[in-house]
Chains A and B, each alone.
Chain A
Amino acid sequence: MSNLVLKASNLSKAHRNGKVESWVLRGVNLEVKEGEVLAIMGPSGCGKTTLLNLLGGLDRPTWGEIWVDNRSLMSMSDGELTRLRLTEIGFVFQAYNLIPTLTALENVEFPLSLLSVSKHERYERASWLLGLVGLTGKEGRLPAELSGGEQQRVAIARALANNPRLILADEPTGSLDSSNSTQIMKILLNLNEELGQTLIVVTHDSSVAGSATRIIRMVDGCIAKEHPESIGKDMFVCEQVDSQTGSQQGVADPEDTAIDLPSLRVWLQVRNQRIRDVDSIVRCLSSRYCPRYDDSLRLSTES
């Protein structure tokens, strides 16, 4: 337990748009050990980025708890969350997200200057980090003068600036070509090996996920089966369960579950399953083997 960097329990997030409430995350449970490389995969719109934002303290969950380093994020003030992001968490985004008016070196120095590191030390560390990602000689360039791959490398260097325990990468290779994305992943994995930082990568590129030590698949706001060997197979867990219990009638009533039917239909489409009838899915949800079983119970009791 001591080497658990991050723990999330029952993490749920709702986006309210007027009167319509849509659940982006539905009771996600997650434990990440120190030094792990965790890949979060799933189709777009399944809540990967929302999950990452919550884990990194950029956003607050509607309910649920997150612990980073055994410290609960829910009890923290905005200022404390900012501090946590500064010292414990490094972000790498899909869109690089460098500050356009600062040079490569200054971008890496930025988080260091927030911690009032001395000028000399800042320069030393930033240039060492830029060297680590292979950008020696390009310190003085503005982001606009760098290629996409180079910008992402600067972003990685910036994420590492304060030596955080946790690196959260949201589709770091999403807007790069294949050769650049292999390089970026290589850099990230090397850093994980050399510096021992825990890495969580959100991606829908299976080759990227292939190099992770653990893969989590998300479907419609909850985590599907977590076995590395069952990638691709977990898609059928529900279907199999459903075919087993298919003969039973009236196992669960749609009224009992707080999950709305439209999102179930979307879920079906996403999973490309042969089940077309929503009733059969509700039955499926009532099965212990389905990853969404717990969620449906939780949603119905808590809401």
Chain B
Amino acid sequence: MATRFSPLFESRTQVRSASHVGLGCADTLGSFELSVRSTASSYVLAFALGQRSHFSLPREFWMAVRNLKRRRTRSALTISGIAVGVTLIVALASISETLNSAVEAASSRLTAQQAAGVAEVSRSVNMFLAGVCGVAFLIAGLGIMNTMLISVAERKREIGIMKAVGAGKRRIMQVFMLEAVVLGVVAGATGCILGFGLTKAVGVILAVSRNAELSIDVSFRSLTVAFLVALVSAILWGAYPSWRASCLKPVEALRNE
């Protein structure tokens, strides 16, 4: 009996110690958050965690959407810029994955030396693809930051009104961050769809031109990664303009025509 129960007991203690570890993490997180509370990053953190904020998402969300719609052309340009980046990431990641699996499948049939050479080539191809993704991330981020900075400059008066009415720093921050997030989500989704289409198109073209049976699969992983890149870059690059907006003095903001 004892031997049968002991593993269970063991696993229980493991679970308990794991939860202790988790609590410890939460504590350190908490103190970390406290230490940076006064800095700008805490606003990002507060937003990401959504803690202690009592803002109704639908209202703010529609506000952001209406704002983006009002500046239709600029929003469309920014979104397409990010979407192109996301498309590239999806397509290149899918191609690289297909390549990798092909290399893996073929490596058993090759000599050790050949396999090493092929692995070397595929590694450098992967590096190149990662570099392209990085550049896409950078360009997408700069696009978001530019759009958001212009938006903040244009809406100075609106920020002044919100502050006069009694909106605090955090609130202003939320309004602008949400706009960046909406931009990121829309662009990410568009990019994923385009990327899927592009990858399939490349597969078909390759298959036709090589007259071979070939299909490139778009993995869920590559789609998720590309979407997250758009979203995270939106949050990271949108943080500075939002913070700038929240720091405006009410009188100066209201004076702006």
Please tell me if the beta carbons of B56 and A119 are within 8 angstroms of each other in the complex. yes
Please tell me if the beta carbons of B55 and A97 are within 8 angstroms of each other in the complex. no
Q: Which residues from B are CB-within-8-Å of A158?
A: 165
Task: Identify which of residues 8-41 in chain A touch chain B, using a CB-to-CB cut-off of 8 Å.
Answer: none
Give 1 or 0 for each of B228-257: 1 = CB within 8 Å of chain A CB.
000000000000000000000111001000
Contact A101 B70, CB 8 Å, known A110-B165, A113-B55: yes
Nearest A residue to B68, CB-CB: A101
Please tell me if the beta carbons of A83 and B251 are within 8 angstroms of each other in the complex. no
Q: How many residues of A contact B (CB 8 A)?
A: 29
Q: Which residues from B are CB-within-8-Å of A116?
A: 54
Contact segment of B20-28, B88-96, B154-162: B154-162
Please tell me if the beta carbons of B166 and A85 are within 8 angstroms of each other in the complex. yes
CA distance A167 to B18 in the complex (A): 57
Please tell me if the beta carbons of B164 and A58 are within 8 angstroms of each other in the complex. yes
- A174 smallest CB distance to B (angstroms): 15
Please tell me if the beta carbons of A82 and B168 are within 8 angstroms of each other in the complex. yes
Please tell me if the beta carbons of B165 and A86 are within 8 angstroms of each other in the complex. yes
Please tell me if the beta carbons of B254 and A97 are within 8 angstroms of each other in the complex. yes
Q: Which residues from A are CB-within-8-Å of B66?
A: 101
Task: Identify which of residues 96-155 in chain A touch chain B, using a CB-to-CB cut-off of 8 Å.
Answer: 97-102, 106, 109-111, 113-114, 116, 119
Q: Which residues from A are CB-within-8-Å of B67?
A: 101
Task: Identify which of residues 17-76 in chain B touch chain A, using a CB-to-CB cut-off of 8 Å.
Answer: 54-56, 59, 63, 66-67, 70
Contact A111 B166, CB 8 Å, known A58-B251, A59-B250, A101-B67: yes
Q: Which of A59, A98, A114, A119 contacts B167 (CB 8 A)?
A: A114
Nearest B residue to A89, CB-CB: B166
CA distance A93 to B161 in the complex (A): 10
Nearest A residue to B164, CB-CB: A91
Q: Which residues from B are CB-within-8-Å of A257?
A: none
Contact A102 B63, CB 8 Å, known A58-B251, A113-B55: yes
Please tell me if the beta carbons of B164 and A97 are within 8 angstroms of each other in the complex. yes
- A88 smallest CB distance to B (angstroms): 9
Give 1 or 0 for each of A66-95: 1 = CB within 8 Å of chain B CB.
000000000000110011011100010100
Please tell me if the beta carbons of A58 and B166 are within 8 angstroms of each other in the complex. no
Q: Judge if A53 is at the interface, Cβ distance under 8 Å.
A: yes
CA distance A119 to B57 in the complex (A): 12
- B216 smallest CB distance to A (angstroms): 43
Binding site for B on A (CB under 8 A): 53, 56, 58-59, 78-79, 82-83, 85-87, 91, 93, 97-102, 106, 109-111, 113-114, 116, 119, 158, 162
